[in-house]
Structure 1
């Protein structure tokens, strides 16, 4: 007899990285579905351009209140340092809505990304809802032993790297847990006011994302795997090509086919950057060595109006677009990528064997970029150094030293040894088979 299982996937569905990771997770689960099971997979959304993509892929989407008002989720959340949601009323409304939809849909299991609202709501339901957290990092207390640098937002981040490592090692674990980057106190207060059991800790990120099972979507060789329990599975990185399409823009095709000696640079800051970051990238190609390079620059509407971005261009070899592109195809032709530290963007560069210059717009992005920098295929620039002259200098360094490209090729080969989709599919269905359906 066929067993039915209802799966809810909850992420910040407005965010490109979270949404595309979630879509890939859903496709993997469906592909590995045993013959005697039938999965009903439902995405939760507060209104997102990715809803259409999810439906086209054959999944259900449940759009819930409050509806997103802005293209960038940070604006809806009123995000500030250490507070994913910086406004109490917003946090409470999102949490109430999440709890209500769980009660109405009665899922057998919840899969959630880096989204404390989902991590908290699932544990405020009776009866208990089993869960799997799919995260870009192993976000539990033991992860503190992996941290080597302070978040860019803190003054201590300006210390030399060797000194940062020394200081961090000398900080007691209890003090580390009070790191302001981890607190999310606004969300915690909303949870307490809605009935969170105060006997259960809710001190910050680790508690809020607590789950019975974790799928860590990153390469295992970047971590001390022995520090993590058996419910942590390092799967390798996943990213979805769902939103990619054939590049049919004549300007992009011309760039891809160009056989001149100009070095090609692809710039993609996603929706996690801001207008200042984008403008500094455009200026890279207006002076000095940058005038000899050609570039494709993505200008998401959530970050900067296309016509405004074009006003800063002084190089005829630079093309700016606000459309979705086949990023992998462009990456493969690029000599260097300038990007943010989102996992999907970095993974695309890795699979394309393309070295990169990156900026972290969130603490987890900083860690992603540090991994690639230490490996030798990337240069990370702190946000206070994100200026056209400095970016140009780093791009030039990568173009001048073949070791960056060689390291990118090495990491690509290592990544191919990890059967990511198989690991995820088998683990998820092993967990589901042990549920009382």
Structure 2
């Protein structure tokens, strides 16, 4: 039985759980082993019974938050100095020598772009479609502005054209990655956007089910891959839902994944607390002592919850637009409000807004009357609910994790 190494960035909840879901479907056909740099969500891997190798240098929570701010455009610095990239590659090469994997499966673990190739190991990237090169080549609009006005549409159309041409000619890579790649004789693709590809790219997005996008030969559609945490719905949640139904209150699920921040979480929770709804929110990591008490009796905060088991219990969701949360909301058959915190998340939300099962706001729009109107439309607009049910049925037979596992099996067999 050959070994497949899964190496997500384990500070990222969606990446970590996506890798776990694919490994679950591959386990039994191949030995699935994990490695990562952050302890933030590494425990989820070990809870599933997978062997986990913590690599050095460790990525601290502070550095992980720095990367999230950089990804969202809220910061200009990142921890990937040449020294750190070099140390990562050395650590990964040592693990490759120990495990001799037949393939390495990554999320956005960029150092593996060097180490896997230096080791001669096929690199598989389970990735979003948004802002990949095939997406940029075919996109006719990008969701920079949310308003459905002539000027907004013109700006979004122009943005797609400009970004496509910029991607066509941009060759810059962070100095640490280029330098270390040269040291190991790894030749990265010239275009920056293509340097972010694996040898095999498995697109875990719903976009391919919504529009007829074309993919290059080293890409495959696999479909939605989202977390199915091995947790039961807490009895407290079931009691809250039963009480809300008895009082004729709607139930709203609110989650911000691993890329939220305290400001946006509190803003949304305050608005939700003013509506006649019961809120179930696994956002405890973003709050400080005393926050919840100020949110009133109908906002209930938790740590991680098995979101995929809550579909029949909630009436709508408010989420940040990460692929996993969007796909979980779609699978529930309920409409959602998406507040994209960075460009990829805005695209995920925009795809569903276009389909008709979602409402989208930017973080700056997510307050006051505008947010209240969006939340009320989620709960009252029958067209949103009908389209949400339609998309749920369209995707019901798609097992993205199984499809991804089958492609990996085919690659290494």
* TM-score of the aligned structures, taking structure 2 as reference length: 0.87
Encode CA deviations 1:213-232: one digit per residue, 9 max, x unaligned: 1211123223433x312332
Contact preservation (8 Å) 1:77, 1:87: no
Encode CA deviations 1:238-271: one digit per residue, 9 max, x unaligned: 12313432313x3x23222122211221111122
* Matched residue, 1:185: 174
* Matched residue, 2:229: 242
* Matched residue, 1:271: 258
Task: Give 1:388-427 correspondences, 5 Å limit.
Answer: 388-427=368-407
Contact preservation (8 Å) 2:167, 2:191: no
Unaligned runs of 5+ in 2: none
Distance 1:41-1:415 versus aligned 2 partners, 3 A rule: same
2:110 is the counterpart of 1:122 = no
Distance 1:90-1:184 versus aligned 2 partners, 3 A rule: same
* Matched residue, 1:15: 12
Q: Give the deviation of 1:21 after TM superposition.
A: 0.3
Q: Give the deviation of 1:58 after TM superposition.
A: 2.7
Match of 1:295 among 279, 292, 297: 279
Distance 2:94 2:290 in 1: 42
* Matched residue, 2:192: 204
* Matched residue, 1:142: 134
Distance 2:370 2:173 in 1: 33
Q: Secondary structure at the match of 1:312?
A: helix
Q: Secondary structure at the match of 1:332?
A: coil
Q: Give the deviation of 1:91 after TM superposition.
A: 4.0
Distance 2:399 2:61 in 1: 37
Q: Give the deviation of 1:278 after TM superposition.
A: 0.4
Contact preservation (8 Å) 1:183, 1:204: yes
* Matched residue, 1:349: 329
Distance 2:149 2:56 in 1: 41
Distance 2:263 2:88 in 1: 30
Q: Work out the number of aligned pairs and report it.
A: 407
Q: Give the deviation of 1:325 after TM superposition.
A: 1.8
Distance 1:244 1:265 in 2: 20
* Matched residue, 1:254: 239
Contact preservation (8 Å) 2:105, 2:124: yes
Distance 1:169-1:348 versus aligned 2 partners, 3 A rule: closer
2:206 is the counterpart of 1:224 = no
* Matched residue, 1:333: 313
Q: Give the deviation of 1:193 after TM superposition.
A: 6.3
Contact preservation (8 Å) 2:7, 2:107: yes
Distance 1:380-1:162 versus aligned 2 partners, 3 A rule: same
Encode CA deviations 1:32-77: one digit per residue, 9 max, x unaligned: x2xxxxx221101224254333233232111111223217723367
* TM-score of the aligned structures, taking structure 1 as reference length: 0.83
2:125 is the counterpart of 1:133 = yes
Q: Secondary structure at the match of 2:351?
A: helix
Q: Secondary structure at the match of 2:291?
A: helix
Encode CA deviations 1:337-372: one digit per residue, 9 max, x unaligned: 111111221121111111111111232211111111
Q: Which runs of 4+ in 1 moved over 6 A?
A: none
Match of 1:310 among 292, 303, 310: 292
Distance 1:64-1:383 versus aligned 2 partners, 3 A rule: same
Distance 2:400 2:80 in 1: 37
Distance 1:121 1:159 in 2: 47
Contact preservation (8 Å) 1:336, 1:399: yes
Contact preservation (8 Å) 2:203, 2:219: yes
Q: Secondary structure at the match of 1:285?
A: helix
Distance 1:276 1:147 in 2: 32
Encode CA deviations 1:295-336: one digit per residue, 9 max, x unaligned: 1222242x333x2431431x3222222x22232333422222
Q: Secondary structure at the match of 1:79?
A: helix
* Matched residue, 1:36: none
